[in-house]
Structure 1
Amino acid sequence: MEVTNADQRPTAPQNDAHHDSEKGNADANAVVADAPYSVLPAGEKIFVIIAGSFAALISPLSSSVYLPALDSLAHDMDVSVSLINLTITTYLIFQGLAPSFLGSFSDGYGRRPAYIIAFVIYLGANIGLALQNSYSALMVLRCLQSAGSSGTIALGSAVVADLTTRAERGKYIGYAGMGIALGPALGPVIGGLLDHFLGWRAIFWFLVILSGSCFIITLIVFPETCRAVVGNGSVLPARWNWPFWAFIIPRSRFRGAEHPPDPSTVQVLKHRPNPISSLRIATQREAGLILLYGGLLFSGYMAVLSTLSTQLSARFGFNSIQVGLCYLPLGMGSISSRFTVGKLLDWNFRREARIQGMSIQKNRQQDIDNFNIERARLTISIPMIYFASLCILAYGWVMQFRTALAGPMVMLFFTGMATTGAFNALSTLIVDVNHHSAATAVAANNLCRCLMGAATTAFVSPLIGAIGLGWTATLIAGLWVLFSPILWLVYCRGHSWRQRAALKKQQKAENRGS
């Protein structure tokens, strides 16, 4: 498919080339500025984002549905629980690595092909897991399962960036995060019930059925949204990249009769898609600091998530069903944050826009070179982090002193709400400052948090055994507070760093052109 982009212009006489070049760029930029950011109406945006969200459900669900069956797996495989816990660590490692490949691929070639690759890998891994009988096969197939499922998280966030502007993104975060939040909430309950009544193999057959259903829905109705392929949605992708329903409706309706094709909105990639791109984002000063703190925040959350089942079994003598139900407050808190924090992000964006003198244009992606987006996002996330520190501290000590079950359950709810809210605000900021490669930015975010989370799950159980759950929670909360000046530094200096980086890039481009 041949497309035109904003940098293409007619050939001019040699002596007037520079003048015509500037004029051509100005005219093209004006066209792009006048075009709507997305031609999809709000209802269709919500539908597509929810579809992507439930495709992303399989990654956190695959991780959490497994937790209540750890003892059963250790017994059937004739290995220790510590060895079974290593499958959680390796799952997180591959969960961090895989999106770097799929995210980068999707930024250049489209979201639908990347979804198809992810689902095929994931389905094959789950069928193998349901049929295998050895610990080594379990370890390898869990890595493959993670590689297939984890890409869907980066893709879901990229779809949000494809369809929504920064000013409205917080509103859509609630829809985008529904599947991701439901995974930790429902996974342990489903896993506990299946393991208790049907055995651990039923867990993987359940995942086969669920992911197969999501795969079929994606093939039938999910449209291509990548801005490097379809621009603002008005440009038709190649026929092989159409959703199946597009073959049975009039072509004009599929394309959008009220919005003729606008090739000027097609995003031109400056670099060929490369899995190393996510590492390059992590080396940027502002992004690197945000990713570092986001990884630390996620590590503390994983420390709670990965040890909760064993702690509940040891302290209350719960079976797999009861353990699964006790994960619900954590998941419900996470779900509630998707809407409360999302609305706060949009409200604060509008407030900062008024303070900084920027008018918000509906359905237009506005330039943020002169807008302090760091302040707009971190004003919400930093207080959430301090609140989360208090909540995880209280959780550790009420569990340590074996209070009534209501105590840790209440603390788990608020820990899930505050931690997830803070992390979502940081994730939104990463996408905001890297909007031209949204999936790659999310992959970089995933890489940092999952590798740090994997390291945490490897040593947190021995740490609890050595110093107790209360002091472990104190250590996590202390680290969150101790490293919080990293975010204050970004809050105060991030905007100026970004402006200087943009100026250097512009000067390099001018030097190459001269």
Structure 2
Amino acid sequence: PYSIFSHNEKRIIILCAGFSQFFSPISGQIYFPSLDAIAKDLHVSTSLVNLTITVYLIMQGFAPAFVGGFSDSTGRRPAYFICAIIYAAANIGLGLQNNYAALMVLRGLQSAGGSGSVALANAVVSDLVTSQERGVYVSYMSVAPQAGPSLGPIIGGLLGQYLGWHSVFWFLLICTGVVFVPCAIFFAETCRIVVDDGSVPPPKWRRCYLNTKLERRLMAEGQPILYEKRDELEKKRKLRFPTPLETVRIVLTKEAGFVLAYIGLLCCAYYATVALIPSQFGTVYDFNQIQIALCYLPLGCGSLLAGFVRGRIIDARYKVHAKRLGFPLTYNRQVDLSDFPIERARLEAILPNLALGSACFIGFGWMIQYKVKLAGPLIFLFVIGFCVSASINTVSVLLVDIYPGKAATASAANNLVRCWLGAGATSGVAPLIGKIGIGWTATFFGLLVVVFSPILWFVMHNGPKWRRAAKGRKEQKEA
């Protein structure tokens, strides 16, 4: 078996990993409604306060590059707990400070702690689940983080209006405790260089309730507990200083680089659309902060629907190609994907989403331009949320398939490209609207997705060849 954890145990572990991702997206969005109040209280300009958003996005892309490699070589639980402690400490500091310099530094630290756990979640799925069933698990795991962008502005607006902007960070600290305690109890170590398929007990300081339960089950079945193998694996592991170089290498490979570049362009269009909502809805519909925050709900609902639906479609496409090529479809058994067109099986599922999403980007911009009734833009936001989230989930699954032993590092590479390109799009959308108008700005970003879509066909055609060549180079190097 690929993993000896039971189906329910896998669900619990992946649920913990999914909830640990919740803090990175919500921490970024919950902050937006309080920007004017923060600028006024700290006696700085709005432009300076906006710089803290840029710092947050930069760290959101950079921090997982360190955490991903660290967890791949050391284990998931230590990396998760380090991220949780950093995030909690940053929230305490943010709740107490009244200084702009402290705000800037602590927001970067908060981003590092919250976003570090993002790289861990897809890696946990890679540890536990084979390629044929991976889509469903990745989609379920993405539900919690995709709820963050829609809930964040609403919660932040209510807290900022009635309790002051410091309360936002105390709220996040309380949420950290609510999630951290169950994860400490149920989030088992899954890294395969530590526990193999789960049959090797982790070191004592990494144990949790699920490990104890699993050992009791193995003993009841008369199977030996592999303490000797645990000591053998521990001797082979080396504690290395975290470095982003491995993440950068993945970004620069042909196997991942082309698809990451394209999904980064899609995220540029998405972040540009999200960034223009506050200013444009406030101007066109004369909305206050709470009303603007509520306009993010359709975006979040579309993302949540994608989380529940997309995984089954991804797995169904895998099974279609596996049956066509005669690949085995045995539950909990991993197969060699060297001769399997995994790129085609994954990416062909997102082509309709990209076409529909691009049309909705353009339509949304012109609706705002001509000030149509609110229902139209909100419906388009729902569809945009669904299409973009479905596409990102699919690419996340593909990266885990391509880099099964470096899933956290590959996820960090995905996060790095998306966040940094998104930061550039967020900062550039306002000047672009000022020059050419919101309709043509949305058209530019929508057409960007369409014009570069042949990249996906290129990847589908050449991906298997690139993977075989990379595997050959690796085997030659090891020999």
TM-score, normalising length from structure 2? Answer: 0.94
The structure-2 alpha-carbon separation of the partners of 1:444 and 1:480, relative to structure 1 and needing over 3 Å to count, comes to same
The structure-2 alpha-carbon separation of the partners of 1:147 and 1:288, relative to structure 1 and needing over 3 Å to count, comes to same
Alpha-carbon deviation of 1:254? 7.0
Residue aligning to 1:475: 444
Residue aligning to 2:58: 93
Alpha-carbon deviation of 1:174? 2.5
Residue 226, structure 1, aligned to residue 226, structure 2: no
AA in 2 matched with 1:432: D
The structure-2 alpha-carbon separation of the partners of 1:449 and 1:373, relative to structure 1 and needing over 3 Å to count, comes to same
Residue aligning to 1:205: 170
The runs of 5 or more residues in structure 2 that have no matched partner are none
Aligned with 1:491 (options 454, 460, 464): 460
AA in 2 matched with 1:363: N
The structure-2 alpha-carbon separation of the partners of 1:207 and 1:256, relative to structure 1 and needing over 3 Å to count, comes to farther
Residue 253, structure 1, aligned to residue 216, structure 2: yes
The structure-2 alpha-carbon separation of the partners of 1:478 and 1:198, relative to structure 1 and needing over 3 Å to count, comes to same
Q: CA RMSD in A?
A: 2.2
Alpha-carbon deviation of 1:165? 0.6
Alpha-carbon deviation of 1:260? 4.1
| Structure 2 residue matching 1:441: 3-state secondary structure | helix
Aligned with 2:287 (options 282, 293, 318): 318
Deviations 1:76-104 (A, max 9, x none): 23333333222222111101110111111
Distance of 2:105 and 2:447 partners within structure 1: 36
Residue aligning to 2:320: 351
Aligned with 1:331 (options 297, 300, 303): 300
Distance of 2:437 and 2:193 partners within structure 1: 51
Residue aligning to 1:414: 383
The structure-2 alpha-carbon separation of the partners of 1:250 and 1:504, relative to structure 1 and needing over 3 Å to count, comes to closer
Alpha-carbon deviation of 1:401? 1.2
Residue aligning to 2:255: 286
Residue aligning to 1:49: 14
The structure-2 alpha-carbon separation of the partners of 1:396 and 1:261, relative to structure 1 and needing over 3 Å to count, comes to farther
Residue 216, structure 1, aligned to residue 208, structure 2: no
C-alpha contact (below 8 Å) 2:122/2:396 kept by paired residues: no
Alpha-carbon deviation of 1:251? 8.2
| Structure 2 residue matching 1:290: 3-state secondary structure | helix
Distance of 2:11 and 2:56 partners within structure 1: 30
The alignment-based identity, stated in percent, is: 47
| Structure 2 residue matching 1:380: 3-state secondary structure | coil
Residue 436, structure 1, aligned to residue 405, structure 2: yes
Distance of 1:370 and 1:352 partners within structure 2: 12
| Structure 2 residue matching 1:490: 3-state secondary structure | helix
Residue aligning to 1:8: none
Alpha-carbon deviation of 1:317? 2.1
Alpha-carbon deviation of 1:475? 0.8
C-alpha contact (below 8 Å) 2:12/2:186 kept by paired residues: no
User: Structure 2 matches for 1:10-21, cutoff 5 A?
Assistant: none
Q: Count matched residues.
A: 473
C-alpha contact (below 8 Å) 2:5/2:214 kept by paired residues: no
Residue aligning to 1:163: 128
| Structure 1 residue matching 2:349: 3-state secondary structure | helix
The structure-2 alpha-carbon separation of the partners of 1:69 and 1:307, relative to structure 1 and needing over 3 Å to count, comes to farther
AA in 1 matched with 2:356: F
AA in 2 matched with 1:458: S
C-alpha contact (below 8 Å) 2:215/2:225 kept by paired residues: no
The structure-2 alpha-carbon separation of the partners of 1:476 and 1:213, relative to structure 1 and needing over 3 Å to count, comes to same
Residue 370, structure 1, aligned to residue 339, structure 2: yes
Residue aligning to 1:61: 26
Residue 502, structure 1, aligned to residue 467, structure 2: no
Q: Which has the higher mean CA deviation after the structures are superposed, 297-306 or 108-117?
A: 297-306
Distance of 2:464 and 2:239 partners within structure 1: 24
The structure-2 alpha-carbon separation of the partners of 1:165 and 1:250, relative to structure 1 and needing over 3 Å to count, comes to closer
AA in 1 matched with 2:435: A
Alpha-carbon deviation of 1:125? 0.8
Alpha-carbon deviation of 1:308? 1.5
The structure-2 alpha-carbon separation of the partners of 1:277 and 1:271, relative to structure 1 and needing over 3 Å to count, comes to farther
Deviations 1:364-400 (A, max 9, x none): 1111001010010011122211211111111111111
The runs of 5 or more residues in structure 1 that have no matched partner are 1-35
Aligned with 1:385 (options 322, 345, 354): 354
C-alpha contact (below 8 Å) 1:227/1:266 kept by paired residues: no
Alpha-carbon deviation of 1:355? 1.5
Deviations 1:117-148 (A, max 9, x none): 00111111111111222222222111110000
AA in 2 matched with 1:399: I
